[in-house]
Structure formats: structure tokens, C-alpha cells
Structure 1
């Protein structure tokens, strides 16, 4: 390959990554606020004069929500993504500058001013870091936010607001011209390929949504809410695979249909298109046919359906509009099915097993969720000291055995660092982690000790030779400590089964009696369990307090309770209940040993059935090294 060719390829890859990053950022401002959009859409559908139950009084909510609430939420979210909580506040203040005085929803203005407010306050904080005299921090923080916020609001009101308003009018005129010329179906030439590149949320919420909202405000509905969210094209693709394909593609298609059409997760069908790229013609044809049908019926929705399931579409359909919406979805599905069937039947590889697996990997890369360069893996849980610490210890050991020089740390969810490449959390916490670290790859697990995804990750990173090697060895965060953290007297064997709450109380009381924690810590352990189960797999639970309870910890300590008949932790049974109270990193060595021991199911079973305290004590305190 010539130097020019290499440069061109690198340039194209860089452009693609920038577009995808921009798309993810754009959708990242909107997606956390989808609930507010749905609330506004439902109020609109119900109470406007043409709604299901018109009510002039309740209908007064519609205007302020769309002109004030929704742009401010977007501005706050955009600012927070860039500059944290202070950035969110500045983003909202700056957005108010473009909202005031405008008679149209200023979503574009919010998407400009929100991140700008976050960026400005972030740069200010960096500039004054370490230079504020002691005792003046709160004064400087509050007045800096107020003064900068005032300047940004005035700038937005006097300068940026009128420019955005003018741009908005130009876009509106262009859209109206396209609609009048009957050329709207051609939008599918850009929308459908853009969806496959995971720009679907950016296209829908960043471009089509604001236009549709203005149109809906004026006419009570908009066809623009249907252009990207129509599940018909994807349904046709999956149906064609189900009927005419073989192997993995055929077997997986029915489940994908349910997730896509009923659940509204359109991303599920993207790999099926990528494994046979000519099928992009099928989704384009389906999309164009659907838009044409919507136009014939003058169909539209009152707000953005999210997610794009058939149920969401019907929920946002105005009274008397069901025939048009359903017809457009069915026509799109039929056309997409016919075109896709033609190409699938002509395909040599009807099973598509290898192609589908390869396409799914491609999807992860396109979506930016599969990192190729990994320097830091972060395990996160609510408190950052229990299950996440054990998971980090387990993966750290696996990395060392594989010769991977990758840093592995554990933190609380709210403290995930910005430079995290991969974030590992329990399934129920992944959504929160994504909101805090949107640019990281996220892995959801159910078993912190012995999850199969650990080995998959190690294998993947072992194959990846592009990972940047640290100039220095990763610092060892586990330090040797005195074995006062786990005392033999705090290992209780052969206990009769009790309920989960009682087991947590017993572990907490043992921590209190041994001088590790104050009595209030027991309640904190219960509250942590109500939030997310501390069952980590392999018959083990590790109850501990939430982050705020750390002030109730006197010193690090661990207690072990063995229940031979088990304690029900939700759907799983825990036979070892390990109570934890951790200050700093003092308890991590024992947690590392616990994690390493429990990786081996045979050893774990030995501990569950052990009748000698010494067996458990040595397994958890004596390092194999």
C-alpha cells in the first residue's frame, strides 16, 4: 500500500470516528431527557384542541414545556457532559439566553449553548485550580458561576439567539419546500444508511425531532417524527432472514424481530444489514415507501416515539391517524422484505454464521463500544469498595497471567474517571455508568467473581497488539496489611439459614462488636442491599454500606458467615455472607484473595462446606504468591 493510500485511509477513518463521536455526543444530550419528551408528547396528545380529551386548562402546559423545559434540560445535560455539575448549571443559564424572546423551541440553540457553558466553566476552573486562597473557595466558585453565566446568557440573547432563529427559519423554509415538492421520501437515502452507522439517535433527536416539534406545535402532528423511527424497514430485513436464510441468522431472527418491532431497539437489525451490505438498498426502499405512504395519508405523530417500537408509534398517534401510521409501517416492511429476500436468496452463504459474527463485531466498532486501545479498566459499584473491588482483583489477576499491562481499578459509580477505557458494572447499574462515562466501553455482568466475560475480554485484549504499553509498570494498589482485618473469631461456620435481612444484620453486628464500625453502619448495609443486590456469584454475597456510610467505619474489617443451607439473595442463594467495611485500600488484599479463591468452583465449594475455620482463614488471608 502506498503512502498516499495509507494517508487517505487514515483520513477516512478519522473522519468516520469524528462523525460517530459527534453523533454520540448529540444524542447524549437528548437521550437522558427522553422521559420529558414523552411526558410532553402525552400531554400534547391528550389535551390540545385536537387531542383525545381536549382541555384548555391542562393544555396550557404544552407551550411552556416545549419552549422552556425541554431546551433547558438539553442545555443542562450538554453542559454537564462537558463540565460536570457546574457545567450543567452554566449550560442551563446560557440556554436561557436563547430561549427568552424566541417563539419557537430553541433546541439547536440549547445544543450550542449547553456544551459551550460547560466548556467555559471547565476552562475557568482549570485556570484557577490551586490558586484560590484558603477559605475563599465557595465565594470564588459561586460568583464565578454567576458572572460567567450572566455573560453567556447575554451573549446568547443578543448574538447567538438571533442567528439560531434565522437558521431555524431557513431550515423550516427548506423543509417546507421539500414537502411541497413531494421529495420527502428521498430523505431515506440519507436516513437509512445513517442509522446503520449508529447516527440514528443524532438524526432523530438532533435533526428531525426539533423540526417535527415546531410542525407539531403548529399543526398538532408531524411526519418528521416517523422518518427515522419507522420500524417497518428493519422488520422486513429480519423477516427475510427468518424465511430464506439458514443457520444462526435464521435462528436468531425471530428473537430480533421481537426486540426490534415490539421493543423498539432498532440497533438489533444493523448486524443483519452489515453482514450483507447490499441490503442497505432494501432498507432505503422500505424507508422511501413508508414515507410515501405516510404522505398519502397525511400521517404524523404528536411527538417523538422513543424507543421506536410499534407501541410507541401508536401511543403518539393523534386521534384519527392510526390508518396512515399503520399503513406506512406495513408498506415499508413489505417492500424491505421483498428487496431483501431477492438478495438473501441469491447469497451463497445463506447461513451467514461467520458473516453475522463478523458484522456484530463491526457494529461494536461502529458504535464505538468496542475499544481497540485499552489502558484502564474500571470496576464500579455504588460504594466502590465491595463487589467492584473483588471484580477488579479477579480481572487484575487474569491480566497479569496473560501478560497484559493494563491498569485495573475500582471506584464508586459517581467517581468513574474520565480516562476510563472500559467500565464494568452490574447490569442494573450500567445505565448510570453510561451517563457518567459516555465515551467508555461498558460491560454488564452478573457475577463479579467468575463472569465468563472476563475471559472473553482477556482473550480479545491479548489479540489486540495495538494497546499502548505504559512507560512504567502499573502501580500495585494492593498493599500488604496486618491480618487484623479478618480475625479467626469473626469466621462463623454452620449457621442455620435465615432471611437476607437477618443475615446482613448478623454480619453488621459482628463488624460492630469487633470495633470496625458504628452501629449505624448496619442500616447502611441494608439500604445498599435495597438498591442493588450484593450477591456476586459462586454462592457468595458481600453486604456492605453505601459510599455515604464510610464515615461510620472506624477501621477496615471483614467478617465471614457460613450458611450451609443458604440464604436467599433474590433468585440466588448465598452460602457465604462476607460483611465488609473498608477504609482506603487496606482491605483489598484479602478481597483479592477471596476473588482468586472463588474463581475456582471446586475451592469455592470446599469453603461452603468447610467445618474448620482455619480452611477459610488461610484461603482468604494467605497469598498464593
Structure 2
């Protein structure tokens, strides 16, 4: 038992360390990409050589990027004071170093933040009133100076020696063509949510160091290659079962073009033997990269084919594309064999279960525990009245990039369609949240507790799957319900529309689409009603389009005429303000349907 606990503790510590390293790099990916583009375009061997602009390359590499990493590392530990001391401390390891001091920045940044945090805990409360500013400025300055000196004489030589050793080790592995074997460890680690730790915490710093020497690095491609994941999703498209097969096309588009690799992890968890397909794809892709001398100028983040091609070094496009294609084909072939051999009955609950398992594993990889109980503040999501004060919605994830951006985009689209055009919906990292009134924070479940701690006065809603959470529709419905309760004029007009049995209120001159509400549980009725109504329209030589759509999938304007039953009308009223509604007793044979047809174009 003790051995198991020790192993678990060690695993948690390794995961926590990897997350900390990647969290310092990820917020600075934009700066790394800027450096990579300047290098690729304006260096002597670039697309458009320019000696003046190329002068930016070395200062950005040796000073800007390490200082940014040190700044973020200090901020992670102790907000802005930690960030400033972390940056000062990082300067100590930069001076005199001939290599990019990324590893040194990852050490000195958090060390600076930790030192000033502990110093404040000891002395800040003892400072007399009126002397706070003097204490704050001089304590940070003096401590930063001492740490910079420490970095110059002690940390710098150690990091330089360690970096040179790692660089030589990587060069040796590449020289004997053994680099593809790294994917045997990288692909399973990705599914265990160590992808950011490996990619941004280890491969990116080493890749930048290699790029500074040779102009490109294959290390940027090891973790970001979208080929293995795409091959597995294509296999599910052709040979999968149930909801996994139906959702695979959308997942493939998001993974390959959006660069969100997390989306294919649940598919592997459904069938663990598919990890063999991912490994084989990764190994073959990296082997192809090496054969053709492929490499990127800087990190491709997210791991999208678009980002990869933008970062590809001059003359390396064929090798990069070949490696992605080979990885995709190999993983597709192996995954297809595994899926075709599967004789089990499809269970649509499998994918949802594995998505939940994925969230739990993701939480564990961040040193967190995924609790089924939400913080007390989460109860607010069930109270319509609590939405009355919402002025801003922020979607927060661990890094504030891929998943939160996608969640914010989905939610923003639903909010706009519901008529809330002035309601801000943005995304950020959970550790950047600022507590304020009128804020609704949407987070993934494993981050809910951290979000609640940082923003105790905000409303909090937790979601399991940021791509298709029903909570988004609940949020919109509650916002609509609040506007009705508070007497919003536009919504007040919508309520009688939904309840009125006649069609005199409809402005048919504005109607451009007729909609029937398609419920997942009663898809047949909506489809049949749509078909019958189209027949009536054809007989009357009318051309207005007729569609069966989900209740959340159309715009809130007068161009949409919705034909619903009384029960559905009530649900419709709390979601939309400006649509036009006709209520019928029977979607298939109500006499009002013929009257509606006669008035349409």
C-alpha cells in the first residue's frame, strides 16, 4: 500500500512539475511565434533577407523570451510583485550566457516570486502606515538584485552545463536516427495530458536552442504532429460505431485545423489498443521528418496544420507535409484494423463516459481532484434570478488558450443568436481571473474550485465537455428568462406571440425561413412535419425555405418564423425575443398550417 502511495505521489509531483514548466511557456507562445516568423522571413537564409530587421533576432532570443518566461513564472507564484522580481532574477542568468536561457528563466522566475512572497509574509504586516510604498519598492528591488547576482555566479554556470549536456544528448540521438523512438513515450503521455508538459516544458526550449544554431528544429514537430490523431479519427469515421462514428468528422476538423489534440483522446480511451495506432503514426511521422530534413523555425501552437505550415523552415515543406501524411496513413491503417475487429455492440454512452474519464485524468495531470460536488457558489447556476446582474461572461481554462477559446466561441455564438449583442464573452487562464461584480465564470469542472477561490463574488458554472455542454443553453435560457421577469420590452412582446392561437401578429413580409423545432427525443415528428409542410408549399408554388432545426440553432430575428406546439412555445419564449411564432395544436394536420402557407412568399 505504501509503495502504491509513493508511486502515486511521485506521479503527481512529476505532473505538477511538467504543468508548471509548460504554464510558463504557453502564455508566451505568441512571442516565440513572432521571433520564429522574423527569423524565417528576414534572416540571411530567409524568404526575404533584411539585415536591419534581422538585428531583432538575437536580442529577442537571448533577452526578450527568457525575460517573459521569468516574468510569467514569478507571476504564477506571487502575482505582479512576484513577476517583477522573477524578471529581475532572470536577468542574472541571461548575462554572459551564449545559449538561450529558457531553463534558467524557468528556475529564476518562480524562485523570485517565491522569495518575495515569503519576504512579504515575514515583514509586510509590520510596516508602519505611510511607508508601504517605500517597503514595496525597495524590498522588491533589493531582493531582485540579490537573486540576479545569485543567478549570475551560481545558477548560470549550472544551467549552461546542463543545457549543453541535453543538447549534445539530443544531437546524438538524432545522429543515430533514434529520435522516432521518442514517440513511444510521447503519444501515451499526450493521452495522459502530459502533452503540454512535454511539448512546451521540454521540447520547445530545446528546439529553440537548436534553431538558434541550425536555423530549424525537428523537435517542434514531435508532439505537435496532427497526423496520428487525424488517422484515428478518420478510422472512426469509416469503421466506428454509435455516437463515436457520428462525432468523429467534426472532431477531425477541430483537431487537424484547430490544433486541439485533446479532442481525440476520449476516442483512444474508448479503445485503449488504439494507442498502438497513435504510437506507430508518431514514430513513422518522426522518421519521415528526419529522412527529409524537416523542421520548424519556432513552436507551432496550437498543433494545427495551419500553424505548422506557417512555422515551417524554408526548403522543409515537403518533409513536413510528408511526415504528417505518413503519420496519418499509418495510424489510420492500424486503427482501422482494430476497429473492424471490434464485434461489440455500440454503446452511445461510451464516448460520454470516456470524456468524463478524460476530464478526471486531465485534473489529475494538473495535481487536482475532480470532485462531483461543486463549490457552494455553483448553486447559482440553477437560480434564474441570479442572472439578473450578469454583465460579463468569462470562460476560463488552465492556460487560457485552446479549450477556453473554443468554449467562449461556442457560448458567444449562442449569446449573440439570443439577442444579447452587448454581453461580453471572453476567455482567459484561471489564474488570471479578477473578482468583480456582474461576472459569470464558466470553467471546466476540474477547475471550478480554483475559479471560485479567485472570484468569490462571481457566478460560476462548470462544464464537463467544452465542445457540447448543455449548460450553455441553460445559461442563455436563464438570461432570457431574467429579461422577461424584469420587464424587458422586446421579450415582453415575445411572450404573447408564443401564446397567441391566431396568426394575425405575424409579419409575413419579413419571413425568410420557416422552422420546425427538432427535439432529439422526437426527431421523427419534426422531420415529418417539415416534409408535409414542404409539400403544401410546393403545391401552392411558394419558395420560402422550410427547415427542421434544434431550438438553439437559429438567429433571433423576424426573418425566422417558428411553428410550434403550445408546450414548445413556452420553452421558445425564454430563449428568443424577436422571432415570429405560430402556435398549432398538431404539427402534422392543424388547419392553421394551410393558412400560413397562403400568406408566405
TM-score, normalised on structure 1?
Answer: 0.65
Task: Tell me the equivalent position of 2:446.
Answer: 441
- Count the aligned residue pairs: 457
Which residue number corresponds to residue 39 of structure 2? 44
Separation of aligned partners in 2, 1:541 and 1:219: 61
1:439 and 1:534 mapped to 2: Cα distance? 18
- CA distance in 1 between counterparts of 2:22 and 2:391 reads 27
The answer for unaligned runs of 5 or more in structure 2 is 399-403, 413-424, 435-442, 452-457, 467-474, 495-553, 558-568, 578-601
Q: Distance in 1 between matches of 2:465 and 2:320?
A: 43
Following the alignment from structure 1 to structure 2, what is the Cα–Cα distance between the partners of residues 455 and 219? 43
Distance in 2 between residues matched to 1:248 and 1:370, nearest whole Å: 28
Which of 304, 309, 316 does residue 311 from structure 2 map onto? 316
CA contact (8 A) 1:275 1:352 kept: no
Question: How far 1:11 sits from its partner (Å)?
Answer: 3.9
Secondary structure of the 2:56 match is helix
> Does the Cα contact within 8 Å between 2:251 and 2:263 map onto a contact in 1?
yes
C-alpha displacement of 1:8? 4.3
Structure 1 CA distance, aligned partners of 2:426 and 2:182? 37
Please point out which of 211, 214, 218 is paired with 1:223: 218
1:144 aligned partner: 139
Distance 2:280 2:290 in 1: 15
Q: How far did residue 14 of structure 1 move?
A: 3.3
**Greater CA deviation, 431-440 or 345-354?**
431-440
How far off is 1:412 after superposition? 9.4
Q: State the 1:38 CA deviation.
A: 1.2
CA contact (8 A) 1:245 1:350 kept: no
| Equivalent residue, structure 2, for 1:170 | 165
Partner of 2:469: none
Secondary structure of 1:431 counterpart: strand
**Superimposed CA distance per residue, residues 146-178 of structure 1 (whole angstroms, 9 cap, x where no aligned partner):** 011001111011100110010000001111111
Distance 1:49 1:452, change over 3 A: closer
Matched residue SS, 2:426? helix
User: Which residue matches 1:537?
Assistant: 479
| Residue 205 of structure 2 is aligned to residue 207 of structure 1 | no
1:311-356 deviation line (CA, Å, top 9, x unaligned): 1111111222111110000001111111111211222336353332
> For residue 195 of structure 1, what is the aligned residue in structure 2?
190
Residue 129 of structure 1, CA deviation: 3.7
Is the contact made by 2:445 and 2:463 (CA closer than 8 Å) also made in structure 1? Answer: no
Q: Whole-Å Cα distance in 1 between the matches of residues 126 and 391 of structure 2? A: 28
Q: Deviations over 1:425-481 (max 9, x none)?
A: 97633425453499983479xxxx999968999xxxxxxxxxxxxxxxxxxxxxxxx
1:259 matched to 2:250 = no
The answer to whether the aligner puts 1:356 opposite 2:351 as a matched pair is yes
C-alpha distance in 1 between matches for 2:3 and 2:390 = 40
2:428 is paired with a residue whose SS is: helix
Query: Residue in 2 aligned with 1:429?
Result: 426
Q: Cα 1:357–1:10, aligned 2, differ >3 Å: closer, same or farther?
A: farther
Contact in 2 for aligned 1:90/1:118 (Cα 8 Å):
yes
Q: 1:329 to 1:455 in 2, by over 3 A?
A: closer
Does residue 62 of structure 1 match 2:57?
A: yes
Match of 1:530 in 2: none
**Preserved contact between residue 282 and residue 337 of structure 1 (Cα < 8 Å):** yes
* 1:305 and 1:313 in contact (8 A); partners too: yes
TM-score normalised by length of structure 2: 0.68
The question of 1:376 aligning with 2:318 is answered no
Partner of 1:53: 48
Aligned residue in 1 for 2:22: 27
Task: Map 1:444-593 to 2 at 5 A.
Answer: 537-538=479-480, 540=482, 562-563=489-490, 564-565=492-493
User: Partners in 2 of 1:238 and 1:565 — Cα distance?
Assistant: 47
**Closer/same/farther in 2, CA of residues 439 and 161 from structure 1, 3 Å limit:** farther
CA drift of 1:245 comes to 1.1
Q: Does 1:337 align with 2:342?
A: no
Aligned partners of 1:20 and 1:197 also within 8 Å: no
Q: Give CA deviations for 1:367-399 in whole Å, capped at 9, x if unaligned.
A: 1187217573557xxxxxxxxxx946829999x
Cα distance per residue 1:513-554 (max 9 Å; x no partner)? xxxxxxxxxxxxxxxxxxxx9996225459xxxxxxxxxxxx
Which residue number in structure 2 is paired with residue 106 of structure 1? Answer: 101
Q: Deviations over 1:268-310 (max 9, x none)?
A: 1111111111111111111110111011101111111111111
Q: Is the 8 A contact 2:381 2:460 kept in 1?
A: no
Name the SS of the counterpart of 1:119 in structure 2: helix
| Contact kept in structure 1, 2:183 and 2:283, CA below 8 Å | yes
Cα pair 1:302 1:317 within 8 Å, conserved: yes
| Partner SS state of residue 429, structure 1 | strand
1:452 and 1:99, CA in 2 relative to 1: closer, same or farther beyond 3 A? Answer: closer
Segments of 5+ residues of structure 1 without an aligned counterpart are 380-389, 399-408, 458-532, 543-557, 574-599, 609-625
Change (3 A) 1:435 1:26: farther
Cα pair 2:62 2:99 within 8 Å, conserved: yes
Taking the aligned partners of 2:95 and 2:55, their CA distance within structure 1 comes to: 18
Alpha carbons of 1:157 and 1:452: their partners in 2 closer, same or farther (altered >3 Å)? closer
Deviation at 1:229, TM superposition (A): 0.7
Which string of whole-angstrom CA distances, capped at 9 and with x for unpartnered residues, describes residues 195-244 of structure 1? 11111111111111111111111111111111111101101111111111
Q: Distance in 2 between matches of 1:111 and 1:395?
A: 45
Kindly tell me: are residues 451 and 78 of structure 1, through their superposed partners in 2, closer, same or farther at Cα, counting changes over 3 Å? closer
